[in-house]
């Protein structure tokens, strides 16, 4: 069975295909969403999901989150003195999802379709694939999140041709995609986005307003106080959807600080973020050669699209109500599961051809003549332009610029800048050419880009027919099977906690966190029930554990701010 996975910035999900259609697989706590948060303590114990998130309030130096934003970069996260790359932390989330699926399904899970933001470049896609491999999964395909969502919305089952815009605002990334359905072909026409814009940024605005109203500076807060503040800001961001005003309360030092924030005030403060949303929408429509009036449907995916401030803005921007019939948190995972069923040739799934586009322009560095006999180097020559439907193969003929030039170097670049230095370097190859007067010798440079984000570059000397090829996989962008096995072995010291202890551990961490955040009678009350639960755990009496846990949970629900 091929499962579908939505590896998100804030939350991750796993799904599979059944006779009744795609279904989300609940995690070990019985919930559909697993927070994309990882914690590693001094003993090498790994915590993933809600448990890791609760540890953030108590042991922030052991926790990492929003690491998806750094996928494909050299950034390292230090947890309890050890370094981890973003794809390694992602692999721990994937491993947790894999184990939950295996327990739920009662069979091994070894293959997956994993979704990625449409605007992820080559490095980020390769890092995501590597994360899957480190988790012990064979990544059958990476599917763009908007395409997966479109499949989940059932558009592949429609009988009429449809153009639609998928607006994907998650916790940390933002994509806009224009797709078109005709017959059984689902074609991506254009993508645009921002890898550093998401729901987390709207939380940060709420936190900033709180600090301003309380005359506080973020830099003067302790790490624990910052975690508390962002937790309360997240709650306020969500609840302001249903109220004109929200009250943000946070324990700073030994004092409970409080700030009242109005909806219009918050909306104004988010003005810059909302402005950032406009540009990718305009860019994607322009690249697709369409006007907004030609879009038949607008689909919302990503948890941040639930925010009233975002929905109100989108209604004004699009001048129509988006389609919200499906849970925006689950659409991508369900679509990935359907794609898995398609790859398995499941007879229950209508076969649909999914096309994708190259998110960024691919080209090479050239020298240009800007005046007679005057040249400027370091310019970028596009060969496969962004939003070209893939697979694609394009050729550009380049001529020599010096007499008796005997060699041509082709530097493979990815990006949109006119200047080569501003674009991402992917690799290079050299080829010998016969010496001749400038402009008389030429090479044909052919780029072929496929659905799995592999770029083949061929350079052919026009006069001799001599050619050279290479597969560009990106600098520092791949690991051999041996390197993956070695890193898996290095990560083997990590100890994954027993599944059956997860619920108890989560309740303990939540109670400890609330104890630290409380004062006076509230603290003494929590201490009483916490001691009773800890005593039951020490005694090992299952009945007493259940009873004291339920009592403690009841108090936690009452006392939670």
Return contacts of 52-57, CB within 8 angstroms, 24+ apart: 54/506, 54/509, 54/510, 54/513, 55/509, 56/227, 57/224, 57/227, 57/228, 57/231, 57/513, 57/516, 57/517
* pLDDT greater than 70 at residue 242: no
Q: CA dist 140 to 1, 25, 215, 275, 528, Å?
A: 11, 19, 52, 37, 52
Q: Where are the beta strands (DSSP E) in 233-278?
A: 245-252, 255-262
Q: What is the pLDDT of residue 216?
A: 94
Q: What is the pLDDT of residue 156?
A: 58
CA count, 13 A, side-chain hemisphere, 147:
26
- Three-state DSSP class for 541? coil
Residue 113, Cβ density class (10 Å: 0-12 exposed, 13-18 middle, ≥19 buried) = buried
End-to-end, the C-alpha distance of the chain in Å comes to 43
* Partner residues linked to 457 by β-bridges: 447, 470
CA distance 248 to 232: 6
Rounded average pLDDT over 467-488: 65
Q: pLDDT tens digits for 375-395?
A: 888 999 999 998 888 888 999
In this structure, are strands 45-48 and 495-496 parallel, antiparallel, or unpaired?
parallel
Same fold, 199-271 and 362-472: no
Query: Which band of pLDDT confidence, cut at 50, 70 and 90, is reported for residue 351?
Result: low
Q: pLDDT tens digits for 257-276?
A: 999 999 999 999 999 999 99
Residue scoring higher pLDDT (304 or 473): 304
Rounded average pLDDT over 27-32: 94
Q: Which CATH class is domain 362-472?
A: mainly beta
Q: What is the pLDDT of residue 495?
A: 64
In this structure, are strands 111-116 and 138-144 parallel, antiparallel, or unpaired?
parallel
Return contacts of 509-517, CB within 8 angstroms, 24+ apart: 509/51, 509/54, 509/55, 509/58, 510/54, 510/556, 511/552, 511/556, 512/58, 513/54, 513/57, 513/58, 514/556, 514/559, 514/560, 516/57, 516/58, 516/224, 517/57, 517/228, 517/251, 517/561
Q: Which fold has domain 1-153+327-350+479-497?
A: Nucleotidyltransferase; domain 5 (3.30.420)
Q: What is the pLDDT of residue 102?
A: 96
CA distance 174 to 237: 18
Nearest to 340 by CA among 148, 511, 556, 527: 148
CATH superfamily of 199-271: ATPase, substrate binding domain, subdomain 4 (3.90.640.10)
* pLDDT greater than 50 at residue 15: yes
Q: What is the pLDDT of residue 159?
A: 59
- Three-state DSSP class for 25? coil
Nearest to 3 by CA among 337, 261, 335: 337
Q: What is the pLDDT of residue 94?
A: 97
* Partner residues linked to 369 by β-bridges: 375
**Structure token pair of residue 58:** 């108590």
Q: What is the pLDDT of residue 157?
A: 61
Nearest to 67 by CA among 183, 195, 244: 195
CA distance 468 to 11: 44
Q: What is the pLDDT of residue 524?
A: 87
CA distance 515 to 523: 5
* pLDDT greater than 80 at residue 210: yes
What DSSP string describes 362-398?
EEEEEEEEEETTEEEEEEEEEEE-TT-EESEEEEEEE
* pLDDT greater than 60 at residue 475: no
Residue scoring higher pLDDT (399 or 521): 399
Q: What is the pLDDT of residue 344?
A: 85
* pLDDT greater than 50 at residue 477: no
* pLDDT greater than 50 at residue 474: no
* pLDDT greater than 50 at residue 183: yes
CA distance 182 to 186: 7
Most confident of 42-56, 114-128, 448-462: 42-56
- For the chain, what are the domain ranges? 1-153+327-350+479-497, 199-271, 362-472, 499-559
What phi, psi does 502 have (nearest 5°)? -60, -45
Query: Which band of pLDDT confidence, cut at 50, 70 and 90, is reported for residue 497?
Result: low
Rounded average pLDDT over 325-343: 91
Q: pLDDT tens digits for 44-80?
A: 889 999 999 999 888 999 999 999 989 988 899 999 9
* pLDDT greater than 70 at residue 311: yes
Query: Which band of pLDDT confidence, cut at 50, 70 and 90, is reported for residue 499?
Result: low
> Across all residues in the chain, what is the average pLDDT?
88
- pLDDT cut 90: percent of the chain above it: 51
* pLDDT greater than 90 at residue 459: yes
Q: What is the pLDDT of residue 493?
A: 61
Q: pLDDT tens digits for 136-165?
A: 999 998 888 888 988 888 765 665 788 889
* pLDDT greater than 50 at residue 190: yes
Query: Which band of pLDDT confidence, cut at 50, 70 and 90, is reported for residue 476?
Result: very low
Q: What is the pLDDT of residue 309?
A: 92
Q: What is the pLDDT of residue 407?
A: 92
Residues 497 and 508 sit within 8 Å (Cβ to Cβ): no
Residues 98 and 15 sit within 8 Å (Cβ to Cβ): no
Q: What is the pLDDT of residue 386?
A: 86
Query: Which band of pLDDT confidence, cut at 50, 70 and 90, is reported for residue 187?
Result: confident
Q: What is the pLDDT of residue 455?
A: 85
Query: Which band of pLDDT confidence, cut at 50, 70 and 90, is reported for residue 320?
Result: confident
Q: What is the pLDDT of residue 188?
A: 85
**Structure token pair of residue 429:** 């190859």
Range 243-255 burial, b when 16+ CB lie within 10 A, else e:
eeebebebbbeee
CA distance 445 to 457: 7
Largest CA distance in the chain: 91
């Amino acid at each position: 069975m091929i499962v579908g996975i939505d590896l998100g910035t804030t939350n991750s999900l796993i799904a599979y295909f059944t006779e009744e259609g795609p279904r989300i697989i609940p995690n070990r706590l019985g919930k559909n969403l697993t927070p994309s948060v990882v914690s590693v303590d001094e003993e090498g114990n790994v915590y993933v999901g809600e448990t890791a998130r609760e540890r953030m309030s108590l042991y922030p130096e052991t926790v990492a989150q929003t690491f998806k934003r750094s996928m494909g970069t050299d950034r390292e996260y230090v947890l309890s003195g050890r370094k981890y790359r973003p794809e390694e932390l992602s692999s721990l989330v994937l491993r947790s999802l894999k184990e939950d699926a295996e327990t739920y399904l009662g069979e091994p899970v070894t293959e997956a379709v994993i979704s990625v933001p449409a605007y992820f470049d080559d490095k980020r896609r390769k890092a995501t694939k590597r994360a899957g491999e480190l988790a012990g999964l064979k990544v059958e395909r990476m599917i763009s999140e908007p395409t997966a969502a479109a499949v989940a919305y059932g558009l592949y089952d429609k009988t009429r041709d449809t153009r639609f815009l998928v607006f994907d605002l998650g916790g940390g990334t933002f994509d806009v995609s224009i797709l078109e359905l005709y017959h059984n072909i689902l074609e991506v026409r254009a993508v645009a986005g921002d890898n550093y814009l998401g729901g987390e940024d709207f939380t940060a605005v709420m936190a900033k307003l709180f600090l301003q109203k309380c005359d506080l500076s973020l830099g003067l807060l302790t790490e624990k106080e910052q975690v508390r503040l962002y937790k309360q800001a997240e709650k306020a961001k969500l609840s302001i959807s249903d109220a004109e005003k929200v009250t943000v309360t946070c324990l700073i030092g030994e004092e409970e600080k409080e700030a009242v924030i109005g909806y219009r005030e918050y909306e104004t403060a988010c003005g810059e973020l909302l402005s950032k949303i406009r540009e990718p929408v305009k860019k994607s429509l322009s690249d697709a050669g369409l006007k907004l009036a030609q879009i038949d449907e607008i689909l919302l995916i990503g948890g941040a699209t639930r925010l009233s401030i975002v929905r109100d803005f989108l209604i004004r921007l699009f001048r129509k109500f988006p389609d919200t019939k499906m849970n925006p948190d689950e659409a991508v995972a369900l679509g990935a599961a359907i794609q898995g069923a398609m790859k398995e040739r499941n007879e229950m799934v209508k076969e649909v051809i999914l096309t994708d586009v190259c998110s960024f322009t691919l080209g090479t560095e050239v020298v240009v003549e800007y005046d007679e006999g005057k040249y400027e180097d370091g310019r970028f020559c596009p060969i496969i332009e962004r939003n070209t439907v893939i697979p694609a193969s394009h050729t550009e003929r380049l001529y020599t610029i010096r007499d008796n030039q005997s060699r041509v170097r082709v530097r493979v670049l990815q990006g949109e800048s006119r200047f080569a230095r501003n674009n991402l370097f992917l690799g290079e190859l050299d080829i010998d050419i016969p010496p001749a007067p400038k402009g008389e010798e030429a090479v044909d440079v052919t780029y072929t880009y496929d659905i799995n984000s592999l770029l083949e570059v061929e350079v052919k000397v026009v006069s001799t027919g001599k050619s050279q090829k290479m597969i560009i996989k990106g600098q520092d962008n791949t690991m051999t099977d041996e390197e993956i096995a070695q890193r898996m072995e290095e990560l083997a010291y990590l100890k994954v906690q027993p599944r059956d202890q997860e619920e108890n551990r989560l309740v303990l961490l939540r109670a400890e966190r609330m104890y630290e955040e409380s004062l006076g009678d509230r603290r003494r009350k929590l201490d009483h029930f916490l001691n009773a639960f800890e005593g039951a755990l020490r005694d090992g009496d299952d009945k007493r554990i259940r009873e004291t846990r339920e009592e403690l949970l009841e108090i936690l629900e009452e006392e939670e701010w």
